[in-house]
């Protein structure tokens, strides 16, 4: 981690609000299938930050702790030690009630959009349920306007999840997240289950939403071509630790760690350069 990782962040720190700050975070799990008391750190001393309007990626092989880290900072998962600050609040110091009040600020988008939607609920009924939970927070936009934000036609309001394509279902999930006007979107492999052409559309949509709403995005992926395309900065995780970090282009064009080089070598079409895909 010798790189001057946070140069760009340091430059903008004065002008950008810190949305998420994680320091020395450790999450210990019981080892699956292991004997009683067999515990291990799925996240091990991680520090990370995310400022308003940033897109930051977390990459690493399967099991490196990406989802565990993400859950800790959504205030959904517990953490064992270290500090998670959300919008300036230290989560460990908040009451359950205060945490509940903060939760809408962080919305999560998962890999499998159909799995995230209730199969018995039309798109419209799903929106209605969310509006019932947070009437004031969600009154800023009507259903048709919300679908327009994710480039979907209002005709889809009466559809059920099985009547949506994967790309449409993921847009509905993004719309549901947006309805809460979050400050952070945590996107955990949001395009891994989609066709390549649909992947590109969803990534473009996320970048547009960052521009139009200023939402910060924590993007979790093992696909470095996607990470290169979408993120300003990147953290590389291995076995629960951040082993390399910095501006995306710097890390991916000149990785310092052999592990990062291996991840890059595993990506098909790895010669794709940031400039080529930015359009
Ligand atoms: N609730 C849990 N109880 C026990 N072990 C867990 C739990 N959740 C995750 N783990 C373990 O913690 C480690 C990190 O898991 P995590 O899901 O965070 O990895 P990941 O980087 O998101 O992987 P993937 O790319 O496959 O999604 C893995 O060894 C996993 O088996
Ligand atoms: Mg995961």
Residues 15, 2: Cα–Cα separation, whole Å: 26
The Cα 56–Cα 98 span in angstroms is 26
Assigned domain for 254 exists: yes
Using the mean position of ligand 1's atoms as its centre, give its distance from the Cα of residue 122 in Å. Answer: 32
21: its two tokens: 């700050």
Do the domain assignments include residue 57?
yes
Q: Look at residue 213 and tell me if it is in a domain.
A: yes
Alpha-carbon torsion (102, 209, 223, 153), positive or negative: positive
CA angle at residue 59 from 151 to 225, to 5 degrees? 60
* Number of domains composing the chain: 1
In sequence order, which residues have a C-beta less than 8 Å from that of residue 173 and are 6 or more positions away? Answer: 109, 110, 113, 116, 117
- What torsion do the CA atoms of 201, 206, 207, 210 make, to the nearest 10 degrees? 160
Residue range 53-73: mean pLDDT, rounded: 93
User: How far apart are the CA of 62 and the centre of ligand 2, in A?
Assistant: 7
Number of other CB atoms surrounding residue 200 within 10 Å: 15
How far apart are the CA of 272 and the centre of ligand 1, in A? 30
Is residue 114 one of the residues assigned to a domain?
A: yes
Check residue 2 and give its pLDDT. 43
Q: What is the distance in A from the centroid of ligand 2 to the CA of 66?
A: 5
Whether residue 262 lies inside any domain: the answer is: yes
Say what the pLDDT of residue 149 is.
95
Give the whole-angstrom CA distance, residue 21 versus residue 260: 24
| One-character DSSP codes across 122-137 | -HHHHHHHHHHHSTTT
Q: How confident is residue 32, by pLDDT bands cut at 50, 70 and 90?
A: confident
For residue 63 and ligand 1, the question of a CB distance below 6 A is answered with yes
Centre of ligand 2 from the C-alpha of residue 67, in Å: 4
Query: For a substitution probing ligand 1, which of 42, 69, 187 has the most ligand atoms within 8 Å of its CB?
Result: 42
- Judge whether residue 187 has pLDDT over 90: yes
Task: Determine the pLDDT at residue 31.
Answer: 81
Average pLDDT over residues 117-130: 98
pLDDT tens digits, 67-98: 999 988 876 667 778 999 999 999 888 888 99
2: in domain: no
Report the pLDDT value the prediction gives residue 41, as an integer from 0 to 100: 92
What share of the chain has pLDDT > 70, as a percent? 87
Nearest Cα residue to atom 2 of ligand 1: 29
Residue 274 scores a pLDDT above 80: no
Q: How does DSSP classify residue 257?
A: S
The rounded mean pLDDT for the chain is: 88
What CATH number does the domain containing 36 carry? Answer: 3.40.50.300
Ligand nearest to the CA of 65: 1
Lowest mean pLDDT among 146-150, 168-172, 193-197, 235-239: 193-197
Cβ of 240 below 6 Å from ligand 1: no
| CA-nearest residue, atom 6 of ligand 1 | 29
Report yes or no on 158 lying in a domain: yes
Q: Among all chains, which residue has been given the structure tokens 């009507």?
A: 142
Residue nearest to atom 30 of ligand 1 (CA): 63
Structural domain containing residue 214: 7-277
Residue 34 in this model has a pLDDT that exceeds 90: no
Ligand 1 contact, 239 CB (< 6 A): no
Residue 195 scores a pLDDT above 70: yes
pLDDT(276) > 90: no
Ligand 1 close to Cβ of residue 238 (< 6 A): no
The torsion region of residue 60 among left (phi > 0), alpha (psi -120 to 50) and beta comes to: left
Residues having C-beta closer than 5 Å to ion ligand 2 = 67
The average pLDDT across 18-45 equals 87
Burial 114-123 (b: 16+ CB within 10 A, else e): bebbeeeebb
Let me know if residue 122 belongs to a domain: yes
User: Residue 197: which pLDDT band, with cuts at 50, 70 and 90?
Assistant: confident
Q: What is the distance between the alpha carbons of residues 117 and 136, in angstroms, rounded to a whole number?
A: 23
- pLDDT for the residue 266: 82
């Amino acid at each position: 981690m010798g790189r001057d990782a946070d140069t760009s962040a340091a430059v903008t720190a004065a002008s950008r609000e810190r949305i998420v700050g994680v320091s020395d975070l450790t999450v210990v799990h019981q080892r699956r299938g292991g004997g009683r008391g067999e515990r291990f750190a799925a996240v091990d001393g991680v520090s990370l930050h995310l400022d308003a309007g940033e897109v930051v990626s977390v990459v690493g092989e399967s099991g490196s702790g990406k989802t565990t880290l993400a859950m800790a900072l959504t205030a959904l998962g517990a953490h064992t030690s270290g500090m998670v600050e959300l919008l300036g609040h230290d989560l460990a110091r908040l009451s359950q009630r205060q945490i509940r009040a903060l939760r809408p600020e962080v919305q999560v988008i998962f890999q499998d959009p159909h799995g995230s939607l209730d199969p018995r609920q039309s798109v419209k009924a799903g929106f209605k349920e969310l509006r019932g939970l947070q009437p004031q927070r969600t009154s800023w936009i009507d259903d048709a306007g919300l679908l327009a934000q994710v480039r979907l036609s209002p005709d889809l309001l009466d559809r059920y999840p099985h009547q949506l394509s994967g790309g449409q279902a993921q847009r509905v999930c993004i719309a549901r997240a947006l309805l809460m006007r979050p400050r952070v979107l945590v996107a955990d492999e949001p395009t891994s289950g989609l066709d390549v052409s649909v992947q590109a559309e969803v990534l473009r949509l996320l970048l547009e939403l960052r521009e139009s709403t200023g939402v910060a995005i924590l993007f979790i992926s093992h696909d470095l071509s996607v990470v290169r395309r979408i993120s300003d900065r990147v953290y590389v995780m291995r076995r629960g630790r951040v082993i390399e970090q910095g501006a995306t282009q710097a890390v991916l064009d000149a990785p310092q760690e052999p592990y990062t080089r291996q991840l890059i070598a595993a990506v098909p079409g790895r010669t794709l350069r940031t400039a080529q895909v930015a359009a």
